[in-house]
């Protein structure tokens, strides 16, 4: 199976970032989702001209400001078309001690 790799790497620091692997059976439309204190990538999957789902990939750094992050997440989710299926996997959302 052929796979396409999409990545949004950190600009300021080494390491980090998020990526998505998408089967080439799908048409993928990819753009960075701008979230304060997080690396993110919004991937919309299409199959034979029909929108299938969106995947929002997020990594929030534990040192990032949670209120700013959450304030940016709402508008991104609200901007997606009605009826969208969202697959949201978030790691390190809350800072643990």
* pLDDT averaged per 10 residues, the chain (length 97): 81 74 89 79 88 82 79 86 66 54
- Give the pLDDT confidence score for residue 55 in this predicted structure: 82
Determine, yes or no, domain membership for 97.
no
Determine, yes or no, domain membership for 59.
yes
- Give the pLDDT confidence score for residue 62 in this predicted structure: 73
Nearest-Å Rg of the Cα atoms of the chain is 14
Determine, yes or no, domain membership for 12.
yes
Determine, yes or no, domain membership for 71.
yes
How far apart CA 1 and CA 16 sit, in angstroms, is 27
Residue 58's Cβ-count burial label (10 Å; 0-12, 13-18, 19+) is buried
Termini Cα distance of the chain:
42
- Closest CA relative to residue 29, chosen from 41, 19, 14, 17: 41
Determine, yes or no, domain membership for 31.
yes
Domain of residue 79: give its range: 3-91
- Give the pLDDT confidence score for residue 12 in this predicted structure: 67
- Give the pLDDT confidence score for residue 94 in this predicted structure: 56
Determine, yes or no, domain membership for 16.
yes
Determine, yes or no, domain membership for 48.
yes
How far apart CA 29 and CA 26 sit, in angstroms, is 10
Our count of domains for the chain comes to 1
């Amino acid at each position: 199976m052929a796979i396409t790799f999409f990545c949004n790497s950190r600009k300021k620091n080494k390491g980090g970032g998020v990526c998505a692997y998408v089967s080439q059976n799908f048409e993928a439309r990819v753009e960075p989702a701008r979230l304060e204190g997080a690396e993110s990538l919004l991937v919309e999957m299409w199959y034979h001209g029909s929108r299938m789902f969106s995947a929002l990939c997020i990594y929030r750094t534990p040192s990032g400001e949670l209120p700013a992050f959450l304030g940016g997440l709402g508008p991104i989710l609200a901007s997606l078309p009605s009826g969208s299926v969202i697959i949201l996997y978030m790691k390190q959302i809350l800072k643990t001690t």
